[in-house]
Amino acid sequence: MREVSVELKLRVIKLFLIGLTLDEIAAQLPELLKQRKWLAHQKVIQNRIKRLGRELEFPAPEGLDITDLKQGYRAYFSAGNAQVIEWQQADDGSCIAKLDDKFDRVIEHLRSSRRQHILDKLDQWQRIGGRCIVHCHDLRINIQNDAEEQTELIHMPDVGQLGLLEDFSWTIYRFALSNEKKVEEEKNEEEKEEYDVINRHDYLCLLRWRSWNLALVENNEVDRIKDIHRKLLLHYQKLSTTLDILEEKVDLEQLEGLLRDRLHKFSGIQVIPGKCLDCPRDT
């Protein structure tokens, strides 16, 4: 408000210097105030359009850990920052990625100014993102179920109990989708060293892989559980569902690049066309 007030004072001084009387200046003040309000709103919308372009980035699928679609959101880390991806059910029953509510007014400007080419691409991004979210969830649940069925153990919330730890299925999911070094069909000496066993004071052993804790098992079960983990790593990194998710991520990245370019051009228009609920009235 202080910046607007100073600018308004300068306009009033300018009008006074060109010879207008105080009454004439007072008559123009309401219109000057409307203009200031309208220009301030335009600046807000321009900034939100730019922000939408910056934030339009679907998370890396391997960073998502979606075990409950009903939750509607999932927190993840990107470039060291905690972020959230949200989703919702579309009218046709499908799942779509959700844009943050703070961009509602941008969408209203796009619709009322008939920027359908941008809206179509945003809709496409949301729908492909929704499919990717569903596929990530299904893959995660399938891995978890397969792990429990083949090991005949369940995932235990208490790290002191016999059973699988969360990282058993999580590592299989993550490495199926990531660009990190894949597991080879033939075992090698380097890979053998990646599994480690820590003997505890009780009858259980902690099975580890790289930096992850996989399971608490009896000593005579270590080799069996380790072989199952390795077999599942191999299986899921080649599964068609995994490849579908990776292709969807490529499609999303291409859409994001196109949308950023179009939104950048839209934000560069001197007067953002269209209307929204926050637009000042009587302008």
pLDDT tens-digit series, residues 254-263: 999 999 999 9
Distance in angstroms (rounded) separating the CA atoms of residues 148 and 215:
11
Residue type, 204: L
Confidence band, pLDDT 50/70/90 cuts, at residue 283: very low
Contacts of 122 (CB under 8 A, 6+ apart): 99, 107, 110, 259
Torsions phi, psi of 99, nearest 5?
Answer: -80, 150
**2, pLDDT greater than 70:** no
Domain count, the chain: 1
22 lies in a domain? no
267 lies in a domain? no
Tokens matching residue 52: 């939408």
CA nearest neighbour of 144 among 159, 136, 154, 134? 154
Q: Are 267 and 274 in contact (CB under 8 A)?
A: no
Q: What pLDDT is stored for residue 89 in this prediction?
A: 87
Distance in angstroms (rounded) separating the CA atoms of residues 66 and 177:
14
35 lies in a domain? no
Q: What pLDDT is stored for residue 228 in this prediction?
A: 96
Distance in angstroms (rounded) separating the CA atoms of residues 166 and 155:
6
Q: Among 2-16, 49-63, 110-124, 150-164, name the most confident range.
A: 110-124
Distance in angstroms (rounded) separating the CA atoms of residues 87 and 71:
9
46 lies in a domain? no
Confidence band, pLDDT 50/70/90 cuts, at residue 15: low
Q: Output the pTM of the full model.
A: 0.82
Q: What pLDDT is stored for residue 24 in this prediction?
A: 66
DSSP secondary structure letter of residue 281 = S
Q: Give the lowest-confidence range in 25-34, 107-116, 243-252.
A: 25-34
Report helix, strand or coil for 114: coil
165 lies in a domain? yes
CA nearest neighbour of 62 among 180, 210, 191? 180
Identify the domain containing residue 184 by its residue range: 61-259
Q: Are 69 and 98 in contact (CB under 8 A)?
A: no
pLDDT, average across residues 160-189: 81
11 lies in a domain? no
Q: What pLDDT is stored for residue 76 in this prediction?
A: 84
70 lies in a domain? yes
Distance in angstroms (rounded) separating the CA atoms of residues 273 and 154:
57
Q: What pLDDT is stored for residue 128 in this prediction?
A: 96
Tokens matching residue 112: 């009322």
Q: What pLDDT is stored for residue 200 in this prediction?
A: 79
5 lies in a domain? no
Confidence band, pLDDT 50/70/90 cuts, at residue 197: very high
